């Protein structure tokens, strides 16, 4: 474990936290839908608001695994599970860049593509530590 790992995990968590704030704003009906969920609805439908709530839960799990991998927090999970989960997260985040890049919403493409790429790079760096 390098001394950089905690910093990377906190940066990763902070970026996920910013995305969680965006999801909360979408859930409460702010007209920011052009930046997320395909950018097709300015205010999200009930179904997409529920999906935004689920996304927040997923962000929390991703952050917890990254923080545990960097040994910022402790967990009862075996370290092998944390290591494997971090690599799965890394692969998932690299794949998530593609739909953002392909989005028909120019707003989503311009905001979420670099954000998802940065998350993927941070996850890779965390996984490598």
Compute, in degrees rounded to 10, the torsion defined by CA atoms 69, 73, 77, 81.
-10
Q: Nearest Cα to 49, choosing from 70, 71, 30?
A: 30
Measure Cα distances from 47 to 9, 26, 36 in Å.
Answer: 31, 12, 14
User: Which pLDDT score is estimated for 40?
Assistant: 86
Q: Quick one: pLDDT at residue 17?
A: 98
Reported as a pLDDT band with limits 50, 70 and 90, residue 1 is low
How far is 36 from 18, CA to CA, in rounded Å? 13
| CB-CB neighbours of 16 under 10 Å | 22
Question: In angstroms, rounded to a whole number, what is the distance separating the alpha carbons of residues 97 and 59?
Answer: 16
What pLDDT score was predicted for residue 96? 94
pLDDT digits (tens, 9 = 90+) for 77-122: 999 999 999 999 999 999 999 999 999 999 999 999 999 999 999 9
* Residues 12-69 pLDDT 10s: 999 999 999 999 999 999 999 999 998 889 999 999 999 999 999 999 999 999 999 9
Contacts 24+ apart (CB under 8 A), 82-88: 83/127, 86/123, 86/126, 86/127, 87/127
């Amino acid at each position: 474990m390098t001394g950089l790992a905690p910093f990377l995990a906190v940066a990763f968590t902070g970026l996920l936290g910013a995305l969680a704030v965006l999801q909360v704003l979408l859930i409460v009906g702010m007209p920011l839908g052009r930046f997320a969920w395909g950018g097709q609805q300015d205010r999200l439908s009930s179904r997409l608001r529920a999906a935004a709530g689920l996304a927040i839960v997923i962000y929390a799990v991703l952050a917890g695994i990254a923080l545990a991998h960097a040994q910022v927090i402790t967990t009862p999970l075996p370290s092998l599970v944390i290591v494997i989960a971090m690599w799965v997260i890394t692969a998932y985040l690299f794949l998530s860049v593609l739909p953002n890049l392909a989005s028909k919403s120019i707003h989503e493409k311009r905001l979420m593509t670099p954000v998802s790429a940065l998350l993927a790079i941070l996850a890779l760096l965390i996984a490598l530590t």
